[in-house]
Structure 1
Amino acid sequence: MNNKTIPNGYLRKVHHIAFNVRDMVASRHFYGHILGLHELTGEEVPATLIELVNTGKVANFITPDGTIIDLFGEPELLPPDPDPSKSFTRAYHLAFDIDPELFDQALTVIQENNLVIAYGPVSRPTGRGVYFYDPDGFMIEIRCDPH
């Protein structure tokens, strides 16, 4: 077992949770009307998701504590697959927020532990991120805001 770790306290909060959904209309109804979560619209939608939201491929909701739930429409979602690059549950990935000054250190820890990187690191106007798999093949993201 490798002793390299991201020190306790570096991961500050869950940034967002992303779910693949087969029926966007039903899922929007569930999260927005049944659960009563606020759906992000207009200026509230993150710039990187505006096109996907406008075409109905993504919907974003916010919990009272500020956690974002992203719904990604996948009407052709297939049954479970042992290949971790193919989402095998409704959940797409779990994203943790980290201070931008600590992002490179976290990336080093991921690499030194030989974790399988799905993609990244990526840089976007909204910050940097890296996507990798946990031991069960569930995708995790560590992301930070821009400097």
Structure 2
Amino acid sequence: MSLDSLQAIPGIASGSLRRVHHIALNVKDMKNSCHFYRQILGLHQLTGEEVPSTLKKLVAEGKVNNFMTPDGTILDLFWEPDLLPPNPDPSHQFTRANHLAFDIAPELFEQAVEILKQNKVVIDHGPVSRPTGRGIYFYDPDGFLLEIRCDPI
């Protein structure tokens, strides 16, 4: 297919996509991952009627857990006990996704960094300061790269 023919294919109308609906991650150890996202990152775990109807059976079987970020984005954790571990060298990405970034108020950034350190979360790099703000990159229990970032003060 040529570039000209690709340009002729209509795209989704600008402004039609409203927001990220959900993000799904495969996890090897569901208990450890739930602890990480609930206790360390402080996300709300969906229970009871909050669980999407399409996932209730999988949640009841312990194969899926759902969390909600403060902006309403749903994070689905899918239990994959045979998930291969990431490359021992964390600079070798093992997925097509690069990272998931959470925004935090600038006055809470240092506290978040301290919580990561206190919980011995593996830090990839940072904190870093840029014109767009500050960020710290770290790994969840399955080696997925996450970021906590804030706008500049």
Whether the aligned pair in 2 keeps the contact of 1:21 and 1:90 (CA below 8 Å) is no
Q: For structure 1, which runs of at least 5 residues remain unmatched after alignment?
A: 81-87, 92-147
Alignment RMSD: 1.9
Higher relative contact order (CA 8 A, sep 6+): 1
Q: Describe the shift of the 1:17–1:8 C-alpha distance in structure 2 as closer, same or farther (beyond 3 A).
A: same
1:10 aligns with 2:16: yes
1:12 shift after superposition: 1.1
Alignment: residue pair count: 84
Deviations 1:94-122 (A, max 9, x none): xxxxxxxxxxxxxxxxxxxxxxxxxxxxx
Alignment match, 2:134: none
Which one of 40, 44, 52 corresponds to residue 46 of structure 2? Answer: 40
**1:89 Cα deviation (Å)?**
2.9
TM-score by length of 1: 0.53
Aligned identity (percent) is 68
Q: Secondary structure of the residue that 1:14 maps to in structure 2?
A: coil
Q: 1:68 aligns with which of 65, 69, 74?
A: 74
Alignment partners' CA distance in 1, 2:96 and 2:47: 23
Listed one character per residue, the Cα deviations across residues 7-63 of structure 1 (whole Å, up to 9, x for unaligned) are 221111100000000000000000001000000001110111011001110000000
Structure 2 residue ranges without an equivalent (≥5): 87-93, 98-153
Q: Which residue does the alignment assign to 2:120? A: none
Q: Which has the larger radius of gyration?
A: 2
Residue pair 1:37, 1:63 contacting (<8 A) in 2 also? yes
Residue aligned with 1:49, SS: helix
Output the CA distance in 1 between the equivalents of 2:67 and 2:24. Answer: 10
Q: Which structure has greater strand proportion?
A: 1
Partner residue of 1:22 out of 4, 22, 28: 28
Amino acid at match of 2:62: G
